[in-house]
Amino acid sequence: MNDLQGIARTARFDPQNDPANGLFQPGPGGDFGVLDQNATLALGGGVPNPKQAFLGSSNSGAGFAQMEGTPHGAAHVSFNGRINSVPVAPQDPLFFLLHANVDRLWAVFQTAYDRFNQSDVKTYPYQQAGDADPWEIISAGLWPWDGSRSHLGNLLPPGTRQENFTKSGLVTNFPGNSPQLLHAIDPYGYNDPRHYLGFGYDDVPYDHVDAATS
């Protein structure tokens, strides 16, 4: 693939002939297969009984949160360049394509299994203090808007602009732009109309805009 905006990039598979899943990372890491959509949704345990679908934890070996490793992590390491280095990955345009799809898969999972109830442990497992680290509890604020350092990497906000972190001119529903983890579970404002983020996906039906049928 050609360089993009000065970023040297080569795929770790043949993008013209090989499927995306089944990628191989040379070295001791071994196989980093990228799961397709059906396999990703199946991580939640909703088949054959959708009522049993749950998010779980990326460390538990069960639940939809396993997508943190694949397809999410596996997609990151499928290309050379900044996309596969955590501290600089957001500098790569591919980062936003990758994470837009991760968000879409999360929306598909929520819709398929009706996981919008913020207080349901199947929707999100860490409901009370002590269930996990404080920054993982459902009521926790999100970095970098909460003014803290990141819990992985101990990083300051971009550019270390801790007092003037860029504000969004599009999302006005969060006073002071200080979102909490629970807001990510209600992007369509089902539980609270103020949480509606103002966008959706053409393959995920929801009340604000009809899903595309073709």
Task: Please name which of 54, 173, 154 lies closest in space to residue 110, comparing C-alpha atoms.
Answer: 54
Separation of alpha carbons 19 and 21, rounded Å? 6
The per-residue pLDDT for 196 is 76
Categorize the per-residue pLDDT at 22 as very low, low, confident or very high, splitting at 50, 70 and 90. very low
pTM, entire model = 0.75
Q: What pLDDT, on the 0 to 100 scale, is given for residue 175? A: 53
CA atoms within 13 A on the CB side of 99: 9
pLDDT category of residue 166 using cuts at 50, 70 and 90: low
Mean of pLDDT values over 110-134 = 91
Mean pLDDT for 126-155 is 82
| E strand or H helix at 93 | helix 93-113
State how far the Cα of 133 lies from the Cα of 131, in Å rounded to an integer.
7
Handedness of CA 22, 27, 28, 29 (dihedral sign): negative
Local confidence band at 90 (pLDDT 50, 70, 90 cut-offs): confident
What number is the average pLDDT over the span 155-178? 57
CA angle 110, 113, 116 (to 5 degrees): 45
User: Average pLDDT in the 159-167 region?
Assistant: 54
Burial of residue 66 (number of CB atoms within 10 Å: 0-12, 13-18, 19+): buried
Phi, psi of 31 (to 5 degrees): -80, 125
Quickly state the pLDDT bin for 100 (edges 50, 70, 90): very high
Measure the CA–CA gap between 101 and 178, rounded to whole angstroms.
24
Residue with tokens 């909460």: 146
Per DSSP, the three-state class of 30 is: strand
pLDDT at 117 over 80: yes
Answer yes or no: is pLDDT of 35 > 50. yes
